[in-house]
Amino acid sequence: MAKTQSVRASLDKQPHEVASMFDGVARRYDLTNTVISAGQDRYWRWMTRRAIAPRPGEQILDLAAGTGVSTVELGKSGAWCVAADFSRGMLAAGRFRAVPMVAGDAMALPFADNSFDAVTISFGLRNVADIDLAMREMLRVTKPGGRLVICEFSTPVIPVFKTVYMEYLMKALPRVARAVSSNPDAYVYLAESIRAWPNQRQLGRRAADAGWAGVKWRNLTGGVVALHRGYKLGS
Ligand SMILES: C[S@@+](CC[C@H](N)C(=O)[O-])C[C@H]1O[C@@H](n2cnc3c(N)ncnc32)[C@H](O)[C@@H]1O
């Protein structure tokens, strides 16, 4: 039987703890995602690509890209897409994917100002210790007129569903993860970090405060996930 690792970050999201937790998750990350989301992850990624609307010839940064599964989806557009992440374990687990990969921290991006036509982060921002700093860094590396799309777990909008969902999350999710993940404790952190995450309006306000213009969001799967969009002023 394959060995499992037990590494779980705390909610203050110390970067070394978060990176080691994802190193431990990496080996079975893609499979676990599909199992615990009942296949919805593919729909969320497809909707994220549609929201970014990458065009051939554009340069897109997929931040906190992990194994590159989100980057591959973006690359279907014909744009040049680069994956960046600070977990070398996650990047290594996605080495078989034909996407350029860069090791880097969302809070100190290893890219020049005004480099990308769009910057996106899927299921990554929630894990970053200082999300306001990360959103300012994303703005810095985006070209004037360029776009931001954040795809992240959020707050369900139907009250009864919200209660059921939070129950499912807190009780069932870590148990399901125990059957498939290479680091099941990370999925206890996942449930806790979703509960502690700002709702749609609060995250939209913080993106605007970080300097993003025209911030809007839309809910997917009844608000289980939200896509926040914005753009960088200038042309
Ligand atoms: C849940 S995974 C998401 C991977 C991928 N984007 C997806 O959609 O499946 C979160 C990723 O965020 C990365 N991450 C967390 N904090 C980070 C930071 N400060 N800088 C870079 N990557 C970070 C983790 O290493 C992990 O690979």
Q: Flag whether 84 is in a domain.
A: yes
Q: Is 105 annotated as a binding residue?
A: yes
CA distances from 130 to 68, 105, 135, 190 (A): 23, 11, 9, 17
- Is 136 among the domain residues? yes
Determine, yes or no, domain membership for 1.
no
DSSP string, 46-86: HHHHHHH---TT-EEEEET-TTTHHHHHHHTTSSEEEEEES
Beta pairing, strands 142-153 & 213-220: unpaired
Q: Is residue 5 part of a domain?
A: no
103: domain CATH number is 3.40.50.150
Structure tokens at 126: 């929630």
Per-residue pLDDT at 5: 54
Closest to 143 (Cα-Cα) out of 61, 53, 50: 61
Q: Domain for residue 211, yes or no?
A: yes
Q: Residues with beta carbon inside 6 Å of ligand 1?
A: 15, 18-19, 22, 64-66, 69-70, 85-87, 90, 105-107, 122-124, 127-128
| CB-neighbour burial class of residue 2 (10 A; exposed 0-12, middle 13-18, buried 19+) | exposed
Q: Could you tell me if residue 7 is inside a domain?
A: no
Structural domain that includes position 197: 15-231
Give me the sheet containing 142-153, strands edge to edge. 101-103, 80-85, 59-63, 116-122, 142-153, 225-231, 213-220
**122 among annotated binding-site residues:** yes
Contact between residue 105 and residue 127 where contact means Cβ atoms under 8 Å apart: no
138 within domain boundaries: yes
- Number of structural domains, the chain? 1
Residue 3 counted as domain residue: no
What is the residue-level pLDDT of the chain in tens, covering all 235 positions? 344 455 777 888 889 899 988 898 888 888 888 888 888 999 999 999 999 999 999 999 999 999 999 999 999 999 999 999 999 999 999 999 999 999 999 999 999 999 999 999 999 999 999 999 999 999 999 999 999 999 999 999 999 989 888 877 767 887 777 777 777 788 888 888 998 999 999 999 999 999 999 999 999 999 999 999 999 998 7
Strand 59-63, strand 80-85: pairing: parallel
Counting from 1 in the atom list of ligand 1, the atom nearest the Cα of 190 is 1
SS3 content of the chain, % helix, strand, coil (to 5): 45, 20, 35
Which atom of ligand 1 sits closest to the CA of residue 106?
20
Q: What is the pLDDT of residue 6?
A: 55
Rounded to two decimals, what is the model's pTM? Answer: 0.94
Q: Check residue 197 and give its pLDDT.
A: 95
For 233, the 3-state DSSP assignment is coil
